[in-house]
Amino acid sequence: MQHLFVMKRNVYLLCLLLSGLCPSAQAADSTESFPAHPLTITVTFPPGGGTDILARLIGAYLTETMGHAAVVENKPGASGNLGAKFVADRAPDGYSLLMVNSSFAINPAVFAQLPFDPKKDFDPIINVAYVPSVLIVPAQSPYKTLSELLAAAQPEKNDVSYGSCGNGTPQHLAGESLNIVAKAHITHIPFGGCGPALNSVVAGQIPMAIVTASSANAQIKAGKLRALAVTSPARSPFLPDVPTVAELGFPGYELNQWHGLLAPAGTPPAIQEKLYAGIAKVMQRPDVKEKLANLGYTQTDDGPAAFRKIIDADIDKFSRLTKDIGLKVD
């Protein structure tokens, strides 16, 4: 009887020991087998925009590089904060990703309170592409160059204004940065997206707009718009004949909009590396490269560590800039 008791006790202790080991064993196994089912990419903008297009390209081709596709879901609202909060609260298992652009780094500066910490609640995975903004005027505009426009905008009271894709967007900050470095007084007119701003400048309703180069390209090529400058540090392959703001007398001027993927904080490093490798392979496909080039994107493949530095540096930079111009959205 005592012998039976000892055996039962030993079996019980063995079960306790095994149960303690199981979680780590399961974690190792889940990392090795990742991904075992489709992923979800949350986009913080409505369908059809550049960030959404990038997410859907990546999601469609992940089957070939990682064995499973990614389903794209759009959660716009609160300038992207709604979708970001949703992903921040998801399990850090690699299956929930957030597709963002530079607006993610601007929001901490223009919102008094955020429902998440942009530096602590996410693990950056990969920065996939940049797209510059472009300063455009109607084809019939009297301003043939940026210097001519800035000369007209020097007096404190002048008729020069610019449309942007909205308050607190990269295009808004690009315009205000230009005002600072050029000591100009160009009045900001926010629109509900790059499309409406583009339409207004094509119609001649506003003197200038600052929008993404990808959204303006067709109208520039058709001769309906004149591109005065791009905001990237180097000329865009998309618009090779258009100078940068920096080379037109404002060295150091730069606002290049990045696009990348984040995961909830705490995602295992091994899974982060798998995601980075799989997504980077998608971006190297010749057909993906061609599509992005046609949309005006310049590809990159900044990994987790490099992308974190980019995001954190932009959060700090935009915080200083918005203080200088007194910008708050809420």
Topology of domain 132-248, CATH: D-Maltodextrin-Binding Protein; domain 2 (3.40.190)
* Residue 16 in this model has a pLDDT that exceeds 50: no
Contacts of 310 (CB under 8 A, 6+ apart): 124, 127, 258, 302
Distance CA 245, CA 239 (A): 13
**How big is the CA angle at 116 (ends 113 and 121), to the nearest 5 degrees?**
150
pLDDT at residue 30, rounded to an integer = 67
Residue type, position 27, single letter: A
**What mean pLDDT do residues 220-230 have?**
96
pLDDT at residue 5, rounded to an integer = 44
* Residue 29 in this model has a pLDDT that exceeds 70: no
pLDDT at residue 4, rounded to an integer = 47
Instruction: Give the pLDDT confidence of 32-82 residue by residue, as tens digits.
Output: 889 999 999 999 888 877 889 899 999 999 999 999 999 999 998 888 899
CB 138 within 8 A of CB 162: no
pLDDT at residue 10, rounded to an integer = 54
Q: 244, 236, 181: which is closest to 213 by C-alpha?
A: 236
* Residue 19 in this model has a pLDDT that exceeds 50: no
Is 132-248 the same fold as 38-130+256-325?
A: yes
**What mean pLDDT do residues 12-28 have?**
48
CA dihedral 153, 155, 157, 161 (to 10 degrees): 10
* Residue 207 in this model has a pLDDT that exceeds 60: yes
Domain extents in the chain: 38-130+256-325, 132-248
Instruction: Give the pLDDT confidence of 248-305 residue by residue, as tens digits.
Output: 999 999 999 999 999 999 999 999 999 999 999 999 999 999 988 888 889 999 999 9
- Chain position carrying tokens 């190297």: 284
Considering only the top CATH level, what class is 38-130+256-325? alpha beta
Q: Which carries the bigger pLDDT value, residue 1 or residue 30?
A: 30
pLDDT at residue 25, rounded to an integer = 46
Instruction: Give the pLDDT confidence of 135-171 residue by residue, as tens digits.
Output: 999 999 999 999 999 999 999 999 999 999 888 889 9
CB 133 within 8 A of CB 164: no
pLDDT at residue 13, rounded to an integer = 47
What mean pLDDT, rounded, does the chain reach? 89
Q: Which carries the bigger pLDDT value, residue 67 or residue 325?
A: 67
CB 103 within 8 A of CB 82: no
pLDDT at residue 163, rounded to an integer = 97
Residue type, position 92, single letter: P
pLDDT at residue 17, rounded to an integer = 47
